[in-house]
Structure 1
Amino acid sequence: MAKKTIQRFLPDHNKIKQQKSLRIFGRFLHDANLWHLNRRSARGAFSVGLFFAFIPVPFQMILAAAVAIPLRVNLPLSIALVWITNPLTMPPIFYFSYLVGTWILGHQEQAFYFEASWQWLSDSLTTIGPAFLVGSLVCGTVAALISFIVVDFLWCRGVKKAWQARNSDHDR
């Protein structure tokens, strides 16, 4: 059940292989395990994708791919989940990450605004940077761990329900 739901939202693997930004991975993109969807590859892909969604750097998709390939988790899912942080969702997600960082470091909250640019990133490194980066790493790690556990649970539950449905159909 979970597999079919996830597969409906995944991009075509041929389109991903043709992405110019991913060509740097060359022959590694031809590993069949990167394209299969099973319990192990799904929970790993969710963890990789959600971790990098919280990391405030450009090229999140390339970083997610660079980690998904050696871990041999589902590449399209890893890349797609990075887009949870998009121009619409970045400001609230990154502000929350900043708040988490200020709480962890015990810093005083400062005025926070987000702009998706190198200039903003370099200007912010000295003011809100430490709290923002710590918060982003913590939020990314927590999201990765929670998604790993939740996807594993939901996948097992779906398989169990499918087996029960088969057994009840078989018994009739």
Structure 2
Amino acid sequence: MAASRLARRILPHPDTLAQTQGLKWLGRYLAPRPWLWVAHRRRVAMGVAVGIAVGVIPLPTQMLLAALMAIVFRANVAAAVAATWLTNPFTLVPIWSLAIALGRMASGHTGPIATPEMLAIDWTQPSTWWPSLWASIQSLGEPLLIGLPLASLVLGALAYLLVYFGWWAVIKGERWRRLRKRR
């Protein structure tokens, strides 16, 4: 059970949260509800799935929403909050590309997403920056708005499967190692 021990070592105890300024409410809420904090394969996998699903959609309060959704789905709250950090400026382009592709497939959008004229920004003329940016955002509109929730569901489901079966593989590997050591 190496994965479980590692998760217990990394995650702070609810009592620690109850003594931390600004997080006291979370510690007090989690202490009588250990199922929201326990490092269990299904709960952690669901927490990661919820966190990634919430993190894909650009919201200013992703971590808070992920924590609330984890409580609703009875998932691991820490895993949900931490998984929102996977969406960042470096992962934005691949995630939005997937979202646009899914949105185009779902909506049947066949036209160009952005023409070179829309993306041509004259950096010497600051007054043209916002109109050019707005034109490119409008061209992404429908495919992106339809694709973000779809990408959220797809990536959340993939994350669940990856964590669940990855954890299972670690447990099987540990058992195999222990059995091999006995021989």
What's the TM-score once normalised by structure 2's chain length? 0.70
Q: 2: CA distance between counterparts of 1:130 and 1:16?
A: 44
Match of 1:137 in 2: 149
Cα 1:86–1:17 shift into 2, 3 Å: farther
2:42 corresponds, among 19, 23, 40, to: 40
- SS where residue 144 of structure 1 aligns? helix
Say if 2:44 and 2:79, in contact at 8 Å, map to a contact too: yes
Match of 1:161 in 2: 173
Match of 1:70 in 2: 72
Q: 2: CA distance between counterparts of 1:67 and 1:18?
A: 23
- Match for 2:112: what amino acid? E
Cα 1:150–1:33 shift into 2, 3 Å: same
Q: 1: CA distance between counterparts of 2:165 and 2:28?
A: 33
Segments of structure 1 that go 5 or more residues without pairing to the other structure are: 114-119
Segments of structure 2 that go 5 or more residues without pairing to the other structure are: 120-132
Say if 1:28 and 1:69, in contact at 8 Å, map to a contact too: no
- Match for 2:151: what amino acid? C
Task: Report which stretch shifted further, 28-37 or 57-66.
Answer: 28-37
Q: 1: CA distance between counterparts of 2:21 and 2:147?
A: 31
Aligned length: 161
Deviation of the 1:17 alpha carbon: 8.6
Q: Which has the larger radius of gyration?
A: 2
Query: In the TM superposition, what whole-angstrom CA distance separates every residue of 1:3-60 from its partner, at most 9, and x where no partner exists?
Result: 456567x56464699585x778685333222221111111111211111121122211
- Specify which structure has the bigger relative contact order, considering alpha-carbon pairs within 8 angstroms and separated by 6 or more residues: 1
What's the TM-score once normalised by structure 1's chain length? 0.73
Query: In the TM superposition, what whole-angstrom CA distance separates every residue of 1:103-126 from its partner, at most 9, and x where no partner exists?
Result: 32111233388xxxxxx89x95x6
* Cα root mean square deviation, aligned: 3.4
Query: Is 2:110 aligned against 1:110?
Result: no
